[in-house]
Amino acid sequence: MKKLTVLLLVLAVAFSAFAQGGSEATKQTTTQSPAKTETTAPAAPATYTFNQALSVFPTNWNTHTYETNTETEIGDYIQDGFYTFDYNEDETGYKVVPAIAVGEPKDVTAEYVGKYGITEGSVNQAYVITIRQDLKWDDGTPINAYDFVESQKRLLNPVAQNYRADNLYSGNMVVYNAKEYLYQGKTVELDNGANAGYTMADLHKGADGQYYSAKEEPVYIGLDFALAWTNNNTLNDYVGAYGSDYFDTTNWEALMAKADDKGLIPLTDENYALFVPVTTNNPNWGETEDDVPNYFVYAATYAPLDWSEVGYQALSDYEILICLTKPLKGFYLLYSLTSTNLVKIDLYDACESIVDGVYTNTYCTSAETTPSYGPYKLTSFQADKQFVLERNDNYYLFNDRPDLYQTTSIVTDYVPEASTRLELFLQGKLDGYGLTIDDMKTYSLSDYCYYTPGDSVFFMAFNPDPEKLATMQAAAGAGINKTILTLLEFRQAMSFALNRADFCLATSPTNEPGFGLYSDLIICDPENGTPYRSTNQAKNVLVNFWGLKDDIGDGKLYEDVDEAIESITGYNLTKAKQLYDVAYDMAIAQGLMKETDVVEIKIGTPNGTSKFYNNGYEYLVNCYTEAVKGTKFEGKLRFTRDDTLGNGFADALKNCQVDMLFGVGWTGSTLDPYNLMEAYTSSNYQYNPCWDTTKENITINIHGVDYTASVRDWNEIMMGEARTITPAKGEGIEYSCGDADNDPETRLDILAALEMAVLMTYEEIPIMGDASASLKGMQIKYYTENYIFGMGRGGIKYYTYNYTDAEWDAYCASQNYVLKYN
């Protein structure tokens, strides 16, 4: 299982498919293994090598900094969690069991009242985890509780600003003061009305003429800065929408001319005098000078913080105390502890460097810089060629369960071409092969063919950032248009013009069309195994988004919601053509496009060798070229391709170096769709960070009352953080609805509303669900023939072999290295 934090995932680049539990699929028929060839017993101990190939190679598997799913091809083998997934007693499902930990976490909340933010009456906020006493690194160095604590300290290093630092303060598990430690010494701008509430009397004027708080925090006026009391809108939003009907706009242009890139101007006597009339002179806005401080913003600096104030401490050599800012218990507590963030301190520190003020760390980027406390250790790594993992004899589980991990080594080669991977597989040199569209006719009915249901939905992604698109448009030359992508109607047309079923047939026939953010495998209630898509809330999202809500009921087109969902195809060429014409007229009217312009969309792909991406690019070009025929875009839409992005595809879109991606998505939170939503609402993860979710408001009905808050705030509320929500009438209230609040239906309501909000941007358009077909080599045996959710068919942990390496080589030689799998 992947950790619950989100990961970037590239479709069809790593089709080895057999490396870990949870990655295999339902087999079509029973596997038959060939008879063994008689061989002389080897003198040396028998070896069992698992051979696989990847079309994209990992480059950084540092548990503190990795970003893409590719990096887990090494990371998953050299690490372990406090808890892990295993088969349940009758091997029909999964359970979470101790791994590094001994027993369940012990709730000690009552013992820490008055410490680490825990107050009288707090529950489920402090736990002691006891760890095993036989933990070692692969070189034999013992591991104790202090190593785990020092690892968290480095994860939260304020200088490093590690990508995975939010493991400790975002999502279900929020460690007390983790974020404060990470940001110590850094300055952030805070909304005065929602925080300190300073009045003019609280401030003093500095020598530079700007006003400061008693803490010497500089104070500004927020002109285009999101304010909590306006539901995270900015004053500029209101002035732009209502103008002189509600405001005195006489000084507005002069004020905005002074604003910095954050929408702030220093609070000085001059600026204050210019600003006061804006909000006080027009009675329709109804404010007085006493209300002006609500628009103030002050720059607060996180205070220095000693690690002793962070809720992650060692109580002894084998006891770890974790204190949280919000309650967490049961499944999600254990799920949050399925990783540890552990690093080998001496080596990690030796890999650090700061050059010209830039922090870098080469830990886990080579065999020499990669220690292991998992079942395997990295013994060789050659970039874009091969890496080798061998059994780590110091792994604790080998003492408890010598029957597990029969695999003695894992050899992974870089083979970008599918045809070469198939050739190697048929020679017996690979133990698995992911079928491409060209292989299905030959091997889809093979006894060795296994089908893999996936948890991901893959998207066509845009980042319609107006400024960046304008820059790229200018660089592309005269007559080239890219800013058309900022129009919702154009992106809607791109969605409705795509025949998803045909796209799947052209690229990956085992996949199915995708219509929502989450697949059928995403579980919203792991205790009962309830899929999110089976809930009424999730079903309503689909029928509402695809415009079928009014067609359901007695005497209507669809008898019920399920029938309506079954009818969804996502393809409506007539509607697409109408939207193309609407978008064209809007672009001309708004000056986004000239009639002589040609729209050029650059599509990015990780490589130029994948059949999925090659076929997908060709299909999309042909699809959209045909779709605009008979519209005002006919002859005005063309595509180019950048196939050199590798693992940097997400950054390329964020920076608008390419205009569009396809076959991209997220994985890692199969059992926690609430946490996964952060991938779409947080700028730390979004493919489309131009969508400012702190300013986008949505209204959700909570127990019969409609409340409004920003998309980002609703996400935080769903994760148990208290945020202000505002009714149509009356005062706003502080509200949270995390798991510990025991209101699962309301939490589902929020999740579904957020899914709808993301879909309605048409910036990440679902196109296909994840599934694949793979051939299993004759050398290996799965533990369970049936696919078990959460465990797959057992993974490397449970795989066994029909042959030793020597026996397998002899058998392949006897077949002249031409094996029959069809």
DSSP per-residue letters across 771-792:
EEEEEEPTTEE-S-SS-BTTTB
Average pLDDT of the segment spanning 287-299: 95
Residue-wise pLDDT tens digits, 82-114: 999 999 888 888 899 999 999 999 999 999 999
Ordered domains of the chain (ranges, CATH): 44-79+344-431+777-822 (3.40.190.10), 187-301 (no CATH), 692-760 (no CATH)
What is the structure's pLDDT at 567?
96
Average pLDDT of the segment spanning 669-698: 89
Q: Which two tokens stand for residue 666?
A: 């997220």
Average pLDDT, the chain: 90
Sheet of 319-323: strand order equals 106-107, 126-130, 319-323, 312-316
741 confidence band (pLDDT: 50, 70, 90): low
What is the structure's pLDDT at 25?
28
pLDDT at 50 over 50: yes
Which positions ≥6 away from 732 have C-beta within 8 Å? 229, 724, 725, 726
Residue 807 and residue 37 in contact, taking contact as beta carbons nearer than 8 Å:
yes
What is the structure's pLDDT at 666?
86
Report the distance separating Cα 517 and Cα 677, nearest Å. 9
The 3-state DSSP composition of the chain as helix, strand, coil percent (nearest 5) reads 30, 25, 45
Report the distance separating Cα 338 and Cα 96, nearest Å. 9
Average pLDDT of the segment spanning 763-779: 93
**Which residues are paired to 106 by β-bridges?**
128
Q: What is the pTM of this model?
A: 0.74
What is the structure's pLDDT at 20?
27
- How many Cβ atoms from other residues are within 10 Å of residue 281's Cβ? 14
pLDDT at 259 over 50: yes
What is the structure's pLDDT at 739?
62
In sign, the C-alpha dihedral spanning 513, 516, 518, 521 is negative
Residue 443 and residue 822 in contact, taking contact as beta carbons nearer than 8 Å:
yes
What is the structure's pLDDT at 714?
96
What is the structure's pLDDT at 451?
86
What is the structure's pLDDT at 248?
96
What is the structure's pLDDT at 633?
98
pLDDT at 24 over 60: no
Q: Which two tokens stand for residue 195?
A: 């925080």
What is the structure's pLDDT at 383?
96
Short-list 687, 668, 577, CA closest to 72: 668
pLDDT at 725 over 60: yes
Task: DSSP letter for 583, please.
Answer: H
Residue 477 and residue 491 in contact, taking contact as beta carbons nearer than 8 Å:
no
Residue 671 and residue 5 in contact, taking contact as beta carbons nearer than 8 Å:
no
Q: Where are the beta strands (DSSP E) in 610-667?
A: 637-642, 660-667
Residue 172 and residue 678 in contact, taking contact as beta carbons nearer than 8 Å:
no
Q: What percent of the chain has pLDDT over 90?
A: 77
Q: Which two tokens stand for residue 793?
A: 């068919």
Residue-wise pLDDT tens digits, 420-456: 999 999 999 999 999 988 898 899 889 999 987 888 8
Report the distance separating Cα 487 and Cα 472, nearest Å. 16
Residue 86 and residue 97 in contact, taking contact as beta carbons nearer than 8 Å:
yes
pLDDT at 174 over 80: yes
Residue-wise pLDDT tens digits, 532-583: 999 999 999 999 999 999 999 999 999 999 999 999 999 999 999 999 999 9
Lowest mean pLDDT among 210-214, 303-307, 473-477, 681-685: 681-685
Q: Where are the beta strands (DSSP E) in 201-311?
A: 204-205, 211-212, 219-222, 264-266, 296-301
Higher pLDDT, 36 or 509: 509
pLDDT at 281 over 70: yes
- How many Cβ atoms from other residues are within 10 Å of residue 589's Cβ? 9
> Parallel, antiparallel, or unpaired for β 598-604 and 637-642?
parallel
Residue 452 and residue 789 in contact, taking contact as beta carbons nearer than 8 Å:
no
Report the distance separating Cα 9 and Cα 70, nearest Å. 8
What is the structure's pLDDT at 92?
82
Q: Which amino acid is at 361?
A: N
Residue-wise pLDDT tens digits, 609-652: 888 999 999 999 999 999 999 999 999 999 999 999 988 888 88
Residue 414 and residue 387 in contact, taking contact as beta carbons nearer than 8 Å:
no
Cα 216 to chain centroid distance, Å, stands at 39
Report the distance separating Cα 516 and Cα 506, nearest Å. 21
Q: Which two tokens stand for residue 744?
A: 């699962």
What is the structure's pLDDT at 2?
27
- For the chain, what is the radius of gyration of the CA atoms? 29
The SS3 call for residue 382 is strand
Residue-wise pLDDT tens digits, 686-723: 888 889 898 899 999 999 999 999 999 999 999 888 89
Residue-wise pLDDT tens digits, 334-365: 999 999 999 999 999 999 999 999 999 999 99
pLDDT at 42 over 70: no
What is the structure's pLDDT at 313?
98
pLDDT at 38 over 60: no
757 confidence band (pLDDT: 50, 70, 90): very high
Higher pLDDT, 811 or 399: 811
Short-list 689, 695, 673, CA closest to 763: 689
pLDDT at 221 over 50: yes
498 confidence band (pLDDT: 50, 70, 90): very high
In sign, the C-alpha dihedral spanning 653, 657, 662, 667 is negative
C-alpha dist (Å) from residue 120 to 43, 111, 258, 796 = 67, 10, 49, 47
What is the structure's pLDDT at 349?
98
Residue 274 and residue 251 in contact, taking contact as beta carbons nearer than 8 Å:
yes
Report the distance separating Cα 223 and Cα 202, nearest Å. 21
Q: Which two tokens stand for residue 784?
A: 């369970």
Residue-wise pLDDT tens digits, 470-487: 999 999 999 999 999 999
The SS3 call for residue 277 is helix
Report the distance separating Cα 576 and Cα 585, nearest Å. 14
Residue 657 burial (10 A CB sphere; 0-12, 13-18, 19+)? middle
Report the distance separating Cα 739 and Cα 765, nearest Å. 29
The SS3 call for residue 353 is strand
The SS3 call for residue 109 is helix
Short-list 738, 766, 618, 606, CA closest to 672: 738
7 confidence band (pLDDT: 50, 70, 90): very low
> Parallel, antiparallel, or unpaired for β 598-604 and 660-667?
parallel
C-alpha dist (Å) from residue 734 to 321, 462, 727 = 30, 34, 12
Which positions ≥6 away from 707 have C-beta within 8 Å? 699, 700, 701, 725, 726, 727, 733, 735
Residue 762 and residue 491 in contact, taking contact as beta carbons nearer than 8 Å:
yes
Which positions ≥6 away from 478 have C-beta within 8 Å? none
